[in-house]
Structure 1
Amino acid sequence: MNDLKRRLAKILAEKSYKEGDFTLASGKKSDYYFDCRQTALHAEGSWLIGNLFFEMIQNMDGAGVGGMTLGADPLVTAVTVISHEKGRPLPGLIVRKQAKGHGTGQYVEGLANFSQGDTVIMLEDVVTTGGSVLTAIERIEAAGLKVAAVCCVLDREEGGRQALEEKGYALHSIFTRKQLVEAARS
């Protein structure tokens, strides 16, 4: 495991990973909660996530990155900034949970940075069942773009990978729960 990943694990364990009794967005009960926003909005955490995602996607076919608001907002921003810094600028887009109630009424923000048919790599903080990212993918494809892959900070290993694969999308994760806990302890 590289130093960036090890450092990110420590910050995630400190700021984002909590054990207890929780109800997830999917409605499932869990003995832990992972609030990635706490790390993604931390200066070093954001920088680490941006670099690790950029490393993960640099050889993928993608004209840019995108994700569902609110969890993906800091992830998309981190990758777009790092991609510019690394000399391979990737624009970003954000998918709204509700269509904009005024103006264009659109679900997807950032489309001016893409052309019809461009390929997007989806970023997600946590994948549990895959439901949120599949909704975001539907909206991106309805806007005339294609999705190359999905990348997440944490794969909870609770069916999301399989749900995405059934729809033809590969899931790449920085960590699984076991990997995160082990890395944070090392």
Structure 2
Amino acid sequence: MSAPQPRAHVADIRSRLHDIIRRRSFGRGEITLASGRKSDFYFNLKPTMLDAEGAALLAELTLDALAGENIDYVGGLEMGAVPLAGAIAQLSFMRGKPIQAFFVRKKPKEHGARLSVEGLAPGESLSGKRVVIVEDVTTTGGSAIKAADAVRESGAEIVMVLTMVDREEGATETFQDAGLAFRSLYKAGEFLKS
């Protein structure tokens, strides 16, 4: 068994992940966003989130961004938050500081337990827990606000909203108005200028 490799410098990880996002998840061309707005560029982070290296690097940068925050759970609105939350939970466990994961359904299932918040074991609750809402790409912040509302209804304390890519189209103001701290790993401008 070989010795574990030292962790790469955060700037190196950030640069490598930028390259992966640019190659796998960024494009030009007219598109209608989830917010209903039109744009001439887009991010589809699923090819990055579901890529082995991309998932690992997203989780690594996210955990580095959350260092010192004493987080109990991480999750957000389906579908974008699901692979993120899973990768973050797995890496947090491997680092010896587990953060549990969950996701919020866009609308509760009409059968079974009819839950909005999924991934919790029977008897497990977000009540009193410190939670970070994660999102793959944020435009206006509306999707993350839906997740935050469901999580607040569960009694959790929302520490912040953390997005992988902020399109810089109003989310900062949306979260400020909602009283939520907001951070991003990348800004859209970092991809538009290169």
Report the TM-score range of the alignment, normalised by the length of the smaller protein: over 0.9
In the alignment, is the contact (CA less than 8 A) between 2:82 and 2:103 conserved in 1?
Answer: yes
SS of residue paired to 1:2: helix
2:69 corresponds to which residue?
Answer: 60
Q: Closer, same or farther in 2 for the Cα pair 1:51/1:114, shift >3 Å?
A: farther
Q: Which has the larger radius of gyration?
A: 2
Cα deviation, residue 144, structure 1 = 1.9
Q: Closer, same or farther in 2 for the Cα pair 1:119/1:24, shift >3 Å?
A: same
In the alignment, is the contact (CA less than 8 A) between 2:136 and 2:163 conserved in 1?
Answer: yes
Provide Cα deviations, 1:98-154, integer angstroms capped at 9, x if missing partner.
102112111001233545211110110011010000011111111222211011110
**Distance in 1, Cα, partners of 2:68 & 2:28:** 35
**Distance in 2, Cα, partners of 1:81 & 1:181:** 32
Q: Closer, same or farther in 2 for the Cα pair 1:144/1:20, shift >3 Å?
A: same
After TM superposition, the score normalised by the length of structure 2 is: 0.90
In the alignment, is the contact (CA less than 8 A) between 1:13 and 1:181 conserved in 2?
Answer: no
1:137 corresponds to which residue?
Answer: 148
Provide Cα deviations, 1:46-89, integer angstroms capped at 9, x if missing partner.
00000000100121142110111101111001100110111100
1:33 corresponds to which residue?
Answer: 42
SS of residue paired to 1:25: coil
Cα deviation, residue 181, structure 1 = 4.6
In the alignment, is the contact (CA less than 8 A) between 2:140 and 2:171 conserved in 1?
Answer: yes
User: For 1:48, which of 57, 60, 78 is the aligned residue?
Assistant: 57
Shift >6 Å, 4+ stretches: none
The alignment of Structure 1 onto Structure 2 pairs a total of residues equal to: 183
1:146 corresponds to which residue?
Answer: 157
**Distance in 1, Cα, partners of 2:17 & 2:126:** 34
Counting only pairs closer than 5 Å after superposition, residues 1-186 of structure 1 correspond to structure 2 as 2-112=11-121, 113-181=124-192, 185=194
In the alignment, is the contact (CA less than 8 A) between 2:30 and 2:40 conserved in 1?
Answer: yes
Q: Which runs of 5+ in 2 are unaligned?
A: 1-9
Q: Closer, same or farther in 2 for the Cα pair 1:115/1:130, shift >3 Å?
A: closer
In the alignment, is the contact (CA less than 8 A) between 2:125 and 2:154 conserved in 1?
Answer: no
In the alignment, is the contact (CA less than 8 A) between 1:11 and 1:39 conserved in 2?
Answer: yes
Provide Cα deviations, 1:141-183, integer angstroms capped at 9, x if missing partner.
112222110111101110011101111111111100122455x
